[in-house]
Structure 1
Amino acid sequence: MSQIDLLVKNGRIIDPTNGVDTVADIAVNDGIILSIDNNIQFQAKETFDAGGCLVTPGLIDCHVHCYQYSTPLGINPDEHCLSRGVTTIVDGGSAGASTFQGLRRYIADRSKTRVLAFLHIAQHGLAAAGCASGAPGGELDSLNVVTVDDCAKCILENRDMIVGVKVRLSDSIADNGKNEAEAYRQTISVIEIIFTINYFVYRRALLAAKKADVPIMVHHTMSTVKTQVDNDDPTELGCPRDLRPGDLYTHTFHPYRSCIVDPDTLTIYSDVIEAKKRGVLYDVGHGQGSFGWTVAEICARTQFYPDTISTDLHSGNHIGPAYDLPIVMSKFLHLGMPLVDVIRAVTSTPAKAIGWGSRIGCLTPGKEADITVLKLKEGRFPMEDCQSQVRVLDKIFKPVAVWRAGNSHPITEPTPFPNLEAMSQNSREWDNILVKDKARPVVK
């Protein structure tokens, strides 16, 4: 071979899948990783000097909302994800069985970013419901739209793109909580029929996931489904207690009702800890309201860190407080999560969780060349949570370069950053959260 397409030189390569943490070069040709070694001597059409930087597998954000224009939450994945070093995103339930083909045709097929999806248990997904539109009510107000067979059929017919089932457990979007448990059950298991008649949407989502042999992602905030179940009643559902190994519990560090931290004792509930031991995966899902510094710090004291780091990026938070995936990663580095574990939480773990571990999230020769270069920038960076409580970080991840299947894409930065207007708006939520700092945040 006389000349290759790309040579990334001198970077610190961190690839948790292959146990690699070393300074080396990466050779790429025809969109495929050719080799990783020291001082590679190939002539290349493009050479990138990554000296002083981290070189990682293309970042994976396993919870975003990218059904742009068809849902109020949708953002453009190339503008807000790929340009920040994220080569693969997983849409978090924007589409249901009745609306999925639009997500494929108008978003996934037209994006340079690899777009995968969790399918919402509700047939219409998040077309306009609850926090997605500002209108009262939500997508689970009627169980008529929660159909296990249609959900499972859509998944099985689109396994190249759909990786699991999504359900939102919040009483305000499920007929004041009446339909939550049934949706939860039907999401967990799409194969066996559970005949208990006392619960609603959660049940159906569990059923759908089991029938299609995929994981579920559960949004659990301000819910009638308990975080901690303190009795032996087998008919009472709990979340995360009734999740299976491999299922994802998102919005892990939110400070509202249904928080994983007991607001009285400020300790993590035992059902949460037991679920983690059992193999339930805890996802960040930062969002506009679902990350609180106080909750995250309580968890960090016992090294209860997330398995996957995601943004829940959407139209309401890409200008703050989430901004992008490297910023959310920076928050967990600040909390004491080891650097390699932070990288693992946006590469190998989400890849494995969605069943793509053999294809993405690694820098294995012979695999598609999804590569991200990050710089750890040092300084003093005031960083808000979703209710505008602030911590000062001494370093943040800055994306420097990204290649998707060997093709380079330009890097952008969030503007404005920090966004004081968004901070002022989000600080209004202070009175509604349960686990928080002693002093109300002051936005300057």
Structure 2
Amino acid sequence: MKDDYIIRNGQVIDPAAGYYGIKDIYVRGGHIVKPSEDASFDGACVIDAADCLVLPGLIDFHTHLGYQLSDFGLHPDLYTLPNGVTAAVDAGSGGTANFEGMYTNVFSRSMIDIKCFLNVTATGIITECYLENLNPDLYNISKIEYLLDRYRHALLGLKVRIGADTAGALELRPLEKAVELGERFGCRVCVHATNLTCGYDRILSLLRPGDIICHIFQGDNDYTILGEDGGIADCVREGRKRGVLFDCACGRVNYSNRIIRQALKEGFVPDIISTDVIGFSIYGPKIHSLLSVMSQYLGAGMELMDVVRAATATPAGVMGMEGKTGTLEEGAQADIFITRLMRHKWEVTDKFGEAMQFHEVFVPLLTMKNGKLAYRNILYDSIG
């Protein structure tokens, strides 16, 4: 059967199942299945993953994929599959006036699984020439309700941005209204918080369990996740205890290496590792892909299991896809990524000029989506 694969000898890391060790993975009909006790797998294609890591397909939880409908938009499959990403979340590219066009013409046609946050504004995040109008008086609430209902299979909730350069004099009003609507319509809120005009204590006091705060290691001014003593602020730890999720969403500029160092030193790791990658930052000097961000956090001190969890199991749960993707358990989609950690000297310099040096990086070897080979590195020939 052409749909049959056996991935042998790989170091399997599956945080959703709590598994880390050598294990063979069997694929049939687009799903991961039990090893066959008869001869039905005799004709299977065998992939030798010796000396490799076998991971669930990665999930980039913060992207902008409105290809040709936004200045920011990446082509979903072109970016994701060669980098081991088999599912992604578009973080508010589309608003009430243009989400349906993005969904119909781009998101729903992709090979990968795409979920989305609906921007609370009409235009969404489509250009750097001007910003979205975040005045809550202009939110089209009836259209928000309609879209959340019609596209409930795709929409995770609402996206809103706050900070001096986005919300400006509106301060927290856009977030307050977004959370009010999230409560009213029973959905999550994802908040972009950079260049803040107030402390995290005020922001986190508005968020509910399951809401997501992005760019948590930003350091644009004195309003950061660090307290007066230089350690992680009490309000941040309390927010996590209440169930607020913290997404690094590093992107090009929305992080401080100093704050990343301090947070990881204290064991405060991101719940979600994502990129906030956009059309003119992909493969650039500041960010390569989700693999470079994962490599960055691994090199900064996160445990390998936690890095993989933050790019697989945790986002899969938020997307309502636990057991379907983000895992290598039997019955799940055969979304599989084979990679190798290779020695490579490189560094990441934040916008403040502070550099971090690293010595290894995740290199993509093979991506399988729904049991089909979607990418293979030309140097990886262990398939027979």
TM-score, normalised to structure 2's length?
0.91
Deviations 1:398-439 (A, max 9, x none): 1111111111122579xxxxxxxxxxxxxxxxxxxxxxxxxx
The equivalent residue for 2:93 is 94
The equivalent residue for 1:256 is 220
The equivalent residue for 2:315 is 350
C-alpha distance in 2 between matches for 1:395 and 1:317: 22
The equivalent residue for 2:174 is 183
Report the CA distance between 1:308 and its aligned residue: 0.5
Q: Give the counterpart letter for 2:373 in structure 1.
A: S
Deviations 1:356-394 (A, max 9, x none): 223221112122111111111124222333445322212
For the pair 1:310 / 2:310, whether they are aligned, the reply is no
C-alpha distance in 2 between matches for 1:389 and 1:382: 10
CA contact (8 A) 1:4 1:43 kept: no
Deviations 1:336-357 (A, max 9, x none): 1111011110111111122222
Deviations 1:162-202 (A, max 9, x none): 1121111123223x322x422212xxxxxxxxxxxxxxxxx
C-alpha distance in 2 between matches for 1:269 and 1:97: 36
Q: Give the counterpart letter for 1:183 in structure 2.
A: P
Unaligned runs of 5+ in 2: 379-384
Report the CA distance between 1:144 and its aligned residue: 4.2
For the pair 1:403 / 2:368, whether they are aligned, the reply is yes
C-alpha distance in 2 between matches for 1:293 and 1:94: 27
Say if 1:184 and 1:412 are closer, same or farther in 2 by CA, change over 3 A.
farther
Q: Give the counterpart letter for 2:186 in structure 1.
A: D
Could you tell me which of 287, 291, 294 is aligned with 2:258? 294
Could you tell me which of 180, 190, 196 is aligned with 1:223? 196
Query: SS of the counterpart of 1:300?
Result: helix
CA contact (8 A) 1:124 1:139 kept: yes
For the pair 1:165 / 2:129, whether they are aligned, the reply is no
Say if 1:324 and 1:299 are closer, same or farther in 2 by CA, change over 3 A.
same
Could you tell me which of 358, 367, 374 is aligned with 1:393? 358
TM-score, normalised to structure 1's length?
0.79
The equivalent residue for 1:142 is 135
C-alpha distance in 2 between matches for 1:387 and 1:79: 31
Query: SS of the counterpart of 2:287?
Result: coil
Q: Give the counterpart letter for 1:168 in structure 2.
A: R
C-alpha distance in 1 between matches for 2:376 and 2:285: 18
Could you tell me which of 169, 182, 190 is aligned with 1:209? 182
Unaligned runs of 5+ in 1: 186-203, 229-237, 414-444
Q: Give the counterpart letter for 1:94 in structure 2.
A: S
Query: SS of the counterpart of 1:81?
Result: helix
CA contact (8 A) 1:169 1:225 kept: no
Query: SS of the counterpart of 1:273?
Result: helix
The equivalent residue for 1:72 is 71
C-alpha distance in 1 between matches for 2:2 and 2:122: 50
C-alpha distance in 2 between matches for 1:17 and 1:36: 20
Say if 1:251 and 1:37 are closer, same or farther in 2 by CA, change over 3 A.
farther
Q: CA RMSD, aligned part only?
A: 2.2
C-alpha distance in 2 between matches for 1:49 and 1:364: 19
The equivalent residue for 1:440 is none
Aligned length: 375
The equivalent residue for 2:111 is 112
C-alpha distance in 2 between matches for 1:307 and 1:49: 32
C-alpha distance in 2 between matches for 1:102 and 1:321: 30
For the pair 1:29 / 2:28, whether they are aligned, the reply is yes
The equivalent residue for 1:339 is 304
The equivalent residue for 1:271 is 235
Query: SS of the counterpart of 2:204?
Result: coil
CA contact (8 A) 2:52 2:338 kept: yes
Query: SS of the counterpart of 1:140?
Result: coil
CA contact (8 A) 1:124 1:145 kept: no
CA contact (8 A) 1:369 1:405 kept: yes
C-alpha distance in 1 between matches for 2:241 and 2:148: 28
**What are the within-5 Å matches in structure 2 for residues 185-200 of structure 1?**
185=176
The equivalent residue for 2:15 is 16
C-alpha distance in 1 between matches for 2:369 and 2:313: 16
The equivalent residue for 1:382 is 347
Report the CA distance between 1:320 and its aligned residue: 3.0
Structure with higher RCO (Cα < 8 A, 6+ apart) = 2
